[in-house]
Amino acid sequence: MKYLLILLVFTLCSFAEYYQEYNPNDDRFKILALKKSISIYRNAEEDYKRSNELFEKGMISKEDFDSKKMYLENSRLNFMQYYLNLIFENPHLTILSAEKRVDNHGNSEVYLKIGNSGSSSYDFDEIFKEYGDLADDLKLVPPSLKNIFISLKDDYGSIISQPYEYHISSFDFDKTCEISFKLLKDVENLTVSANYNGKIDEKKIYLKRLSEVNRLTVNSDIFSQEIMSSESGEYGLELEYYGDSREFFKFEVQNLPKFYTWELTEKNGRSVSSIVMDKKNFKRNLILKISVPDFTGSNIELDKSFIIKTVFKSESSEEIANAELEVIPTGKAIIEFSSDNMYYLFEKSEEMKLGPFKIKNDGMKKINDVKVIFTAPNGFDYKIDSEKFSELKIGEENHFFVTLNPNPDVTPGIYNVKVKCEGKASGRIISTSTNELKLELKAKASIITISILSIASLMLIGFVSYIIIKFTKN
């Protein structure tokens, strides 16, 4: 029994020596587990080399040599397990750089450089540098990431890049890849979204600005605008400068017809004619005001568009950037409503005729599809004699009447009716303000009541006459 216990203890110790058991606690300390496995593997290599020399000299048995060899193999497999688990349990793409550039046409582009760095552990890079040769010797070739989709998004989650998604079919470990996108929306920061390995990894980054030469881009918030005669229209201009030096730019407007005027202002209303920009102040937002003169019949052409060109020049008068804008001068479309009477008094049994109402084109455009919008009180039926006019020429005036019929159960009182007119001019709907009329409905007096009131009036007149005659005689 004594010898049996000694044999059992020896066997357990030998098993512990020659087989590295996987420790569940090492899942929480993968870097430490990897370091431990590397140390054990190195020791097993040295032990195997010494055992090989002793076996060749016949100083140890074949069983002892085979056990050392098995221990080395187990240590190697243990190291491979930790190494591969650490690299591929959490695959990771790293954004190495993100640069914003502008091409010769003023279009913004983004150049991304990404890397497949495997695990994101803070200590793994150092271990890989120190023991990467061991992984190479053991032919541990990390599998590449497959089917990676990368896109650029704004703060609202909308994709703002072209292509919308960049597809990388295969990406090897510890390699880099450069990708270029065209920006559909000009931004200074964006979100890089990477979809791979069953997960979506998003990082918000600030773009680094690059330019081989000093360059200025100009964009307008709107391209085309209708501007009424004698009024002004505003175009927002967004300037962006790419360069390292401080540059001066002069501004001018080309192709603007005679009698028109322009003014360039900042948001605070201050007028400017030139600007200075550098790498710190690389963005400016300005407002270009175009004023259309008052139409006199021959000075401007209404409803005929033309293109103006906004130009920024260097100090040497070289054109640096420009933007084309469309101006559409148009006349005012005005429709007016009027009535000579705004208060009507009727008895309940009478037909109620309101009007005449006048509707006039007091603008500089023909008005089509003119209609009357009439709102009657509850219990009233109405009819408009000319509810719709096909058109109103400039200066033309039309009239219409409204007939009201109260229902029998309508009680006497004061009621409000509303009248409004609207039409179309150049595809736009124009209308008058809502006009409110007062309508008083009185109860109809009966014949008996009228007779009594008449007799009472005659008696009163006779009595007054009697008093006056008597007083005169006296």
Which amino acid would we find at residue 80? Answer: M
pLDDT at 307: 96
pLDDT above 80 (res 89): no
Q: Which residues contact 181 (CB under 8 A, 6 or more apart)?
A: 109, 110, 112, 152, 161, 162, 163, 166
DSSP string, 396-427: -EEEEEEEEEE-TTPPSEEEEEEEEEEEEETT
Residue 2 scores a pLDDT above 50: no
Where residue 120 falls among pLDDT bands split at 50, 70, 90? very low
pLDDT value of residue 386 = 76
Q: pLDDT-based confidence at 122, cuts 50/70/90?
A: very low
State what percent of residues in the chain have pLDDT above 70: 81
Q: Where are the beta strands (DSSP E) in 29-105?
A: 93-102
* pLDDT for the residue numbered 1: 43
Looking at the chain, the whole-number percentage of residues with pLDDT higher than 90 is 30
The predicted pLDDT at position 20 comes to 47
CA–CA distance, 155 with 441 (Å, rounded to integer): 62
- Confidence (pLDDT) at 22: 47
Whole-angstrom distance, CA of residue 243 vs CA of residue 252: 22
- Say which residue, 245 or 129, is predicted with more confidence: 245
What phi, psi does 58 have (nearest 5°)?
75, 25
Average pLDDT over the chain, rounded to an integer:
82
